[in-house]
Structure 1
């Protein structure tokens, strides 16, 4: 991965306004932030207005308490006049061999259920045979690298025509992507959002909202047709705890758990 272009203009704004924007986004008062970070409300005020230059340690401490994404923590440091703290190691670097191997074992161990690893822009880093099964019949041009999970799901020639509750599932995915775009200020995510939001919805994509009667699922499922059956999945996304590298921080593992006994039985039967 390469550094996000959004970091460049951010650095020119100064660290004070950026910290204030993050604090307001998190709905935390200066007093509360100061208490968490072991500082004073007056010092936080001086930092935000540019009257005081924070140390690199304070910038990182404030960023941690504001749950600022790792890439944006580097942007805050640059805006304050310091070098980035977190490295950004290419995923194919030998230093990440153990991590990549662990992720591969994790998603293979999840078979026969689908699981995949995506980066910050939803490009697929790794996928297991459960995912490959769902992509049967998708045109080769959509499967050419870089494979993008959202593009594959919402494209009218991808999975979209097979998703029975497409309109509500599409709304869920677009809302999540829009929140991430606003949080990360990423041109890549914004371009992806504009692209997939413009895709036409194939006929038969279901209603705009869920059914009036609640479905017998504990969470919103993705219901996709496969080989004449309707498979129902619940999506779970996992990220790394306290990552120390930008690349690692932006990886996510998505697993699709069968939402009903019929789906589980069908996938287990295929694995025999």
Structure 2
């Protein structure tokens, strides 16, 4: 049997943590029990500490509640079990195949911008199309490791050229806040607080009106080479990750939101 080191005495129990995840999902004990093929009584006993769940039950409930992979390990540790998912460094040879697939994926999007981010928005890979977004960004922000949130919101980054900065900034901060609700990450919290405190560059120009085809999603509207480019951002993640590092990787692509942007990118390629 694998020995597991006990956490701090004041650490939340597995029952308390599972109750928090259930409440975040907006489920009653009965609803969770039905989805997990259990009973409301058993769920209640787990949450109150009257019953110690098995390893299999912890993983089943975590899967039913769509708990992030890193936090599933936390649940297992709180229940006295060893973590189920490794956290392999991205530069480990074991992830060569993953890195190669990601690099091919972002390259396939050219001339449109695409990049790969880790759980704290560090840029892991990017294609040539990303240059359309980085015009005028201060060199110190592009020194590795590059952080996408800093590049977006720093006064010396993309921020002065983003035409709808107030809306885009709000979107990015909301995105980080949603992540913080799922991950107990001091590094992510520190990053959020840092970029939220950046001064917002003033602009004499009002935010441009959105074209009809852009009204269903917030675009990134940015100046580049004397033109106004408009992008819709999409994010893809691994559907069934078995490693913490892989689970937190995201491929972000910026697709033209209008024909003029698509034409400009193809002409500059």
- What does residue range 20-169 of structure 1 map to in structure 2 within 5 Å? 20-169=19-168
Which one is further off, 30-39 or 19-28? 30-39
**Structure 2 residue aligned with 1:269:** 267
Of 232, 237, 251, the residue aligned with 1:234 is 232
Change in CA separation of 1:176 and 1:55 when aligned onto 2, cut-off 3 Å: same
Distance (whole Å) between structure 2 residues aligned to residue 223 and residue 214 of structure 1: 11
In structure 1, C-alpha distance between the alignment counterparts of 2:163 and 2:108, rounded to whole Å: 28
The C-alpha deviation readout for 1:221-262, integer Å capped at 9, x for no partner, is 100000100000000000000111100000000000000001
Task: Tell me the secondary structure at the aligned position of residue 147 of structure 1.
Answer: coil
Structure 2 distance, partners of 1:194, 1:78, is 29
The separation in 2 between residues aligned to 1:134 and 1:21, in whole angstroms, is 39
Cα distance in 2 for residues equivalent to 1:245 and 1:72: 12
The count of corresponding residues between Structure 1 and Structure 2 is: 262
- Could you tell me how far apart the structure 2 residues matched to 1:56 and 1:196 are? 39
| Match among 214, 217, 228 for residue 219 of structure 1 | 217
Deviation, 1:210, is: 8.4
Two-structure CA RMSD over aligned residues (Å)? 1.8
Q: Residue in 2 aligned with 1:5?
A: none
The residue number in structure 1 matching 2:251 is: 253
The two structures have a TM-score, normalised by structure 1, of 0.92
Gaps of 5+ in 1: 1-7
- Give the 3 Å change call, closer, same or farther, for CA 82–199 of structure 1 in structure 2: same
Q: SS in structure 1 opposite 2:182?
A: helix
User: C-alpha distance in 2, partners of 1:66/1:198?
Assistant: 33
SS of 1:257's partner is: strand
Question: Once the 2 structures are TM-superposed, how far is the Cα of residue 34 of structure 1 from its aligned partner?
Answer: 1.0
Shift of 1:214: 7.1
TM-score of the superposition, structure 2-length normalised? 0.93
Where does structure 2 lack aligned partners over 5 or more consecutive residues? 1-6
Separation of aligned partners in 2, 1:127 and 1:155:
19
Does the aligned pair in 2 maintain the 1:162–1:224 contact within 8 Å?
yes
C-alpha deviation, 1:13, in angstroms: 1.3
Q: CA deviation at 1:137?
A: 2.4
> Could you say which residue in structure 2 is the equivalent of 1:4?
none
Q: 1:206 to 1:178 in 2, by over 3 A?
A: farther
String of CA shifts for 1:74-126, please: whole Å, max 9, x gaps: 00000000000001111111111011001001100100000000000000000
Q: Which secondary structure state, in structure 2, belongs to the residue aligned with residue 235 of structure 1?
A: strand
1:48 Cα shift?
Answer: 0.3
The Cα of 1:181 is off from its aligned counterpart by 1.0
Q: Runs in 1 of length 4+ with deviation above 4 angstroms?
A: 8-11
